[in-house]
Chains A and B, each alone.
Chain A
Amino acid sequence: MNMEKLFQIRFPAKAERLCLIRTLVKEMAESVGCCVDLSEKLVIAVNEACMNIIQHAYKGDESGEIVFEMLNNEKELHFRFVDYAHPIDLDSVKSRDLDDIRPGGLGTHFIAEIMDEYNIGHLDEGEGNYLNMKKNIN
Chain B
Amino acid sequence: MKINIQQEDNYTNIGFDGAVDLSSSSDARKSIIEVLEQNKNILIDLSLVSYIDSSGVACLVEGYQIAKKQLLKFGLVGISDAAMSVLRLARLDQVFPIYNSKEEYEKKDV
**A residues neighboring B (CB under 8 Å):** 15-16, 18-19, 22, 40-41, 43-44, 47-48, 51, 54-55, 98, 101-104, 106-107, 109-110, 113-114
Contact = CB atoms under 8 A, between A and B. Distances in A.
A40 B62 contact: no
Interface of B: 19, 21-23, 51, 53-55, 57-59, 61-62, 65, 82, 85-86, 89-92, 95
B contacts with A: majority SS: helix
A124 B69 CA distance: 48
Which label, helix, strand, loop or mixed, suits the secondary structure of the A interface?
Answer: helix
Contacts of A16: 23
Contacts of A104: 54, 58
Given A51-B54, A101-B61, A101-B95, A44 B86 contact: yes
Q: Which 4 A-B pairs have the closest CB atoms?
A: A103-B58, A15-B22, A106-B54, A15-B23
A114 B53 CA distance: 14
A51 B90 CA distance: 16
A48 B53 CA distance: 7
B57 A106 contact: yes
B58 A106 contact: yes
B61 A18 contact: no
Given A15-B22, A19-B19, A103-B62, A109 B90 contact: yes
A54 B23 CA distance: 11
Contacts of A103: 58-59, 61-62, 65
Nearest to A44: B86
Nearest to B24: A15
A101 B92 CA distance: 9
Contacts of A55: 22
Nearest to A107: B54
B22 A106 contact: no
A22 B51 contact: yes
